[in-house]
Amino acid sequence: MSAADLNKAISENENVMVICGRMGPMCIPVYGIAEELEEEYRHVKFYDMEFDNPESYIIRNLPEVRGFMGIPFTIYYRSGKVVKATSSIQTKDQVKAILDKEFTSVVNAE
Amino acid sequence: MNAVNHYDAIVIGAGPAGLTAGIYLSRARLKTLIIDEGVVGGQMVLTHEIANYPGVKSISGYQLSSIMKEQAKSFGCDIKTNVSVSSLDLNGEEKELVLKDGSAWSANAVILSPGGRSRTLGVKGEDTFKGRGISYCATCDGDFFTGKEIIVVGGGNSALEEAVSLTKYASKVTIIHQFDTFQAFEHAVEEVKSNDKIHFIMESAITAFYGYEKLESVDIKNLASGATMNFKTDGAFIFIGYVPNTEFLKGTIDLNQWGEIIVRSDMSTNIEGVYAAGDSTAKRFRQVTTAVGDGTIAALAAAQFLNEIKIKQKQFLTA
């Protein structure tokens, strides 16, 4: 996704998780975890962004990622604001713990 | 018991050994489930390029994993990922297994292929600075250290090869190794020794990592003298071998002193109906090809075992 797409996504959605990485060893497991959690966490929107695309400046320049030196950079946005950021590979339990803490499930009004 | 959750065979671990076992078992029309606590592919996905898998000139570990997964699924194998085992009972004819999500499963045969993982140092600050200067993957994170001074911990083939590849980015690479000689192949040792950017601190170990937002220094203890010094560094790459993922099997199956599963030549273990394959078994060489070989043997042995059970059951019913 582009920087503009990301801005649109975080302005239109309450809870957003973005994984910014490469198709490499530390990133693939995190993409795989997000793919599996999509079903369970309907109140969260999951996106990915290519680390080597210049558009990723929108993530690389965040103050929250200062000191990060391991891909993927995973950013959690709530109401357009960064609430959590992690560097390098994560386990499913670690990701779930962040999702459960930062994003409360909204009762669907439908 | 819930009949839905019964399989002929359950394979624990979806690396090359487990996926191969899944392919052979499902192709033999045995109802098979593979479970894995991570993603499909195991340590294979940690390899950018595999150039020595016969029949395939060059492929990424991720692609090879995906193909093996599709192959297993095409024969009807079920695969559950990112779920770990909370308890298992391997004794008796019916092997029982409870997963962390609370679901219970049973099978007449079990193949253990949980693989291994990179060993960590287990010292102060290691968790804190993972992704903030500490890395276990040179190809992933090497470019963050362009023009910087870094350390590489380890003295085996991976450590030395990665140290050389990191000189593409780093201005100086210091290898820290616990012994006075390297365990790597001679050609790898010669390569690091002839590289001007690579320096050595031998017979030494890291005892702590320090920094503010990111890694800034490490404590290095000289194992011969016992003296500790603080050493400034921007990054630390750790390649100190692998440990088998067999903690959950302790007390249930025979493991050797390193926690590796003891197997016979047909990949059977000390428990009837339980087989093991891949990196978690006691053996000398750990390659994708050897894991695939182990998985094949384990599956064929398990299939024979399952068929014998079925014949016995039939004889019992018709007697």
CATH 3.50.50.60 maps onto chain B at 3-118+242-318, 134-238
Interchain proximity B130–A88, CB inside 8 Å: yes
Least confident of A36-45, A75-84, B174-183, B287-296: A36-45
Predicted confidence at residue B4, as pLDDT, reads: 52
Residue B98 identity: V
The rounded distance, in Å, linking the Cα atoms of B58 and B51 is 5
DSSP H or E run through B245: none
Note the pLDDT tens digit of each residue in B276-296: 999 999 998 889 999 999 999
DSSP 8-class letter at A64: G
Q: Can you tell me which residue has the tokens 């490469």?
A: A22
pLDDT at residue A79 greater than cutoff 70: yes
- Note whether B99 and B35 are within 8 A (CB): yes
- What amino acid occupies position B217? S
Residues in chain B with CB shorter than 8 Å from the CB of A33 are: 39, 82
Tokens of A95: 């990701």
Q: Which residues are bridge partners to B236 per DSSP?
A: B134, B151
Give me chain B's average pLDDT, please: 94
Instruction: Quickly count: other Cβ atoms within 10 Å of residue A52's Cβ.
Output: 10
Of B61, B132, B141, the CB nearest to A71: B141
Please give, rounded to a whole number of angstroms, the shortest distance from the CA of B316 to a CA of chain A. 44
HEC string of B209-244 equals EEECCCEEEEEEEECCCCCEEEEECCEEEECCCEEE
B213 to chain A: which residues are within 8 Å by CB? Answer: 66-67
DSSP state of B255: B
Q: Which residues of B touch A27 (CB under 8 A)?
A: 140
Burial degree of B52 (CB within 10 A; 0-12, 13-18, 19+)? exposed
Name the residue among A26, A28, A67 with its Cβ closest to that of B214: A67
What's the rounded Cα separation, in Å, for the pair B91 and B105?
14
Nearest chain A residue to B145 by CA: give it: A69
- Rounded Cα–Cα distance for residues B294 and B282 (Å): 12
- Residue B24, Ramachandran bin (φ over 0: left; ψ between -120 and 50: alpha; else beta): alpha
Residue of A nearest to B213 (CA): A67
Q: Averaged over B184-194, what is the pLDDT?
A: 94
* Residue B213 burial class via C-beta count within 10 angstroms: exposed 0-12, middle 13-18, buried 19 and up: exposed
Taking alpha carbons only, the member of A54, A48, A39, A53 closest to residue A75 is A48
Tens digit of each residue's pLDDT (9 = 90 or more) over B88-98: 999 999 999 99
Share of chain A above pLDDT 90, in %: 77
User: A68 and B131 in contact by Cβ < 8 A?
Assistant: yes
Contact criterion met (CB below 8 Å) for B213 and B132? yes
Give the DSSP H/E element, type plus range, for residue B66: helix B61-74
Contact A69 B130 (CB under 8 A): no
Answer yes or no: do A22 and B45 touch at CB < 8 A: no
Taking CA B117 as the corner, what is the angle to CA B184 and CA B144, rounded to the nearest 5 degrees? 75
* Interface contact B38-A91, CB threshold 8 A: yes
Burial B288-310 (b: 16+ CB within 10 A, else e): bebbbbbbbbbbbbbbebbeeee
Angle between helices B288-318 and B16-27 (to 10 degrees): 40
What's the predicted TM-score (pTM) here?
A: 0.80
N- to C-terminal Cα separation, chain A? 29
Amino acid, res. B83: V
Query: Stretch A1-27: mean pLDDT, rounded?
Result: 92
User: Could you tell me how far CA B42 lies from the centroid of its own chain?
Assistant: 6
Contacts of B98 by beta carbon, 8 Å cutoff, 6+ apart: B85, B86, B87, B88, B104, B105
| CATH superfamily placement of domain B134-238 | FAD/NAD(P)-binding domain (3.50.50.60)
Name the CATH superfamily for B3-118+242-318: FAD/NAD(P)-binding domain (3.50.50.60)
Q: What is the pLDDT of residue B121?
A: 94
Binned at pLDDT 50, 70 and 90, residue A73 comes out as very high
Whole-angstrom distance, CA of residue A85 vs CA of residue A62: 10
Specify the amino acid at residue B188. A
Is A25 close to B45, i.e. CB distance below 8 A?
Answer: yes
Nearest to A98 by CA among A82, A106, A107: A82
Give the CA count within 13 Å in the CB-facing half-sphere of A83.
Answer: 17
Domains of chain A and CATH, by start: 3-100 (3.40.30.10)
| A25·B81 Cβ contact <8 A | no
Mean pLDDT for the stretch of residues A81-85 = 96
The rounded distance, in Å, linking the Cα atoms of B201 and B219 is 12
Q: What is the pLDDT of residues A88-100, one digit of tens each?
A: 999 888 999 999 9
Q: How far apart are CA B283 and CA A28, in angstroms?
A: 28
Residue of B47, B48, B141 with shortest CB distance to A69? B141
For A70, nearest residue in chain B (alpha carbons): B131
Cβ–Cβ of A32/B39 closer than 8 Å? yes
Tell me which residues of chain A have a C-beta less than 8 Å from any C-beta of chain B: 22-29, 32-33, 36, 66-71, 86-89, 91-92
Q: In chain B, what residues touch A39 (CB-CB under 8 Å)?
A: none
CB-neighbour burial class of residue B132 (10 A; exposed 0-12, middle 13-18, buried 19+): buried
The encoded tokens of residue B69 equal: 């997964």
| Longest CA pairwise span in chain A (Å) | 43
8 Å CB contact of B140 and A27: yes
Between CA B312 and CA B91 the distance in angstroms is 19
Query: A28 CA to chain B: closest CA distance, Å?
Result: 8
